[in-house]
Structure 1
Amino acid sequence: MSDVTLDQALGELADLEDPKMRAANEKRGDDHGMNLGRLRAVAKKIKTDQPLAQELWATGETPARLLALLICKPRDFSADELDAMLRETDRPKVNDWFVNYVAKKTPLAEEMRVRWFDDADPTVAAAAWALTAARVAKDPEGLDLEDLLDRIEAQMKDAPARPQWSMNETLAQIGTHHPRLRERALAIGNRLQVLADYPTAPGCTSPFAPIWIGEMVRRAEG
């Protein structure tokens, strides 16, 4: 645990505020004006500090919550705490970091995946699908992959943006890591056309599942 107080941490975050950066971030739905590289430098200096992370999160402010997610200990959160936190991640970057830096790192990840899977809140359902995508790629034993494809085929086209993205990721991971289901995954992606027109920078791989699967398989096969 560090010696940094809440007021000191908030002061450092205030020093990072840049109006031009805020304007750029607000276009993406985020309400902060920080360079995230500089924010990571602050977190690196503090290191891990769970009590401070909880104080930062309790402020409700996006800059403080982003710092909290970088310095917290995911294993120290209870299932109910994780659930409550997720339901407050309305800002895109806070949501992204919570899912990737906390939900995927906690020993309760599978418990939370199951708990969140059929939740009516799109943000919560999206987290469940993100955890499912991670399991498909790294620890698929026990997952009913055929059932996941059935759900994706039935639900992804009309799903809200966040769960649609995570369902698409799950589809791509099934097609990439499970050759016996690759043909079906490709067929679903081609039929639904989800993210087919997603703007992709030169040199980057499109998130459109058939393109994503093809590129990942190509890389794996060398």
Structure 2
Amino acid sequence: MDFETVMAELEALGKERTKKTYISNGAHEPLFGVATGAMKPLAKKIKKNQPLAERLYATGNYDAMYFAGVIADPMAMTEADFERWMDAAYFYMLSDYVVAVTLSETDFAQAVADRWIASGEELRMSAGWSCYCWLLGNRPDSEFSESKMAGMLDQVRNTIHECPDRTKSAMSNFIYTVGISYLPLHDKAVETAKAVGPVEIGRNNKKSSVSVPSENIQKAVARGQLGFKRKYVRC
């Protein structure tokens, strides 16, 4: 399936209501407003296609950029490719749910995520913390350094309330994900969540939201989700 056909198919799947929702979350024109679930049949036809993914991502069209992440071949991407994708990720649904997710399937995910966390840039930091959430929720605990994860929890505890909003949100998710998906540090994550308390996250022209990692961990444990791992990261 060629680029023009895919763009036409995505446009046909667009819905005005979905478009308004995306815009309220930070997306801007051009975009069609395609629900992510509606992309699945198209993705099944194409499977992985990195050259096509690159053309779609370069359009700047939000739906095309999202779909690029769905059909990307992470093993064909370099660290430089991810830096380029990150440069074009203008809001969190791209940085955290396209770039970070795709990065999490590579062998160099932790190295790039570490660099982004240290960058001081809101969306790069957000993508870095989010990448660890995708990693921890999918890969075996043995792939992670317990001392490194403990240090990252300490970093969150000490800095979360001074960080930019999107970074705060990803850090809050990190506490939760360690607490549920990384068993060696469940207790430390619970302690960290209690110490951090409620996390207020400002949103585009909307009322701030409040995340309470300790409550979220408790609810997940009550649902029997302790030790949860996803089979697949991308849809």
Contact 1:168 1:194 in 2 (8 A): no
Against the structure 1 CA distance between its residues 135 and 19, is the aligned structure 2 distance closer, same or farther, given a 3 Å change threshold?
A: closer
The residue number in structure 2 matching 1:203 is none
Local SS of the residue matching 2:159: helix
Contact 2:69 2:99 in 1 (8 A): no
Contact 1:70 1:101 in 2 (8 A): no
Against the structure 1 CA distance between its residues 74 and 154, is the aligned structure 2 distance closer, same or farther, given a 3 Å change threshold?
A: same
Against the structure 1 CA distance between its residues 46 and 173, is the aligned structure 2 distance closer, same or farther, given a 3 Å change threshold?
A: closer
The residue number in structure 1 matching 2:26 is 29
TM-score by length of 1: 0.81
Query: Aligned runs of 1:143-158 on 2, under 5 Å?
Result: 143-158=147-162
Structure 1 position 209 matched with structure 2 position 213? yes
Distance in structure 1 (CA, Å) of the matches to 2:179 and 2:116: 23
Local SS of the residue matching 2:198: coil
Local SS of the residue matching 1:87: helix
Contact 1:48 1:73 in 2 (8 A): yes
2:196 to 192, 195, 213: 192
Query: Aligned runs of 1:80-91 on 2, under 5 Å?
Result: 80-91=80-91
Higher strand share: 2
Distance in structure 1 (CA, Å) of the matches to 2:226 and 2:71: 37
Shift of 1:39: 2.0
Give the number of the structure with larger relative contact order, counting CA–CA contacts within 8 Å between residues 6 or more apart.
2
Against the structure 1 CA distance between its residues 65 and 154, is the aligned structure 2 distance closer, same or farther, given a 3 Å change threshold?
A: same
Shift of 1:179: 6.1
Runs of 4+ in 1 over 6 A off after TM superposition: none
Which sections of structure 1, spanning at least 5 residues, go unmatched?
A: 199-205
Cα deviation digits, residues 6-53 of structure 1 (max 9, x gap): 111111122122223212322222343212222222222222211111
Shift of 1:169: 2.1
Against the structure 1 CA distance between its residues 167 and 68, is the aligned structure 2 distance closer, same or farther, given a 3 Å change threshold?
A: same
| Fraction of identical pairs, as percent | 20
Q: CA RMSD of the aligned region, Å?
A: 2.8
Shift of 1:181: 6.2
Distance in structure 2 (CA, Å) of the matches to 1:18 and 1:175: 37
Contact 1:21 1:34 in 2 (8 A): yes
Distance in structure 2 (CA, Å) of the matches to 1:66 and 1:133: 19
Shift of 1:174: 3.5
Shift of 1:93: 2.7
Contact 2:126 2:167 in 1 (8 A): yes
Q: Which amino acid aligns with 2:61?
A: E
Against the structure 1 CA distance between its residues 221 and 5, is the aligned structure 2 distance closer, same or farther, given a 3 Å change threshold?
A: closer
Query: Aligned runs of 1:33-52 on 2, under 5 Å?
Result: 33-52=33-52
The residue number in structure 2 matching 1:110 is 110
Structure 1 position 55 matched with structure 2 position 55? yes
Shift of 1:208: 1.8
The residue number in structure 1 matching 2:79 is 79
Against the structure 1 CA distance between its residues 161 and 145, is the aligned structure 2 distance closer, same or farther, given a 3 Å change threshold?
A: same
The residue number in structure 1 matching 2:13 is 16
Instruction: Point out the structure with max Rg over C-alpha.
Output: 1
Local SS of the residue matching 1:98: helix
Shift of 1:197: 9.5
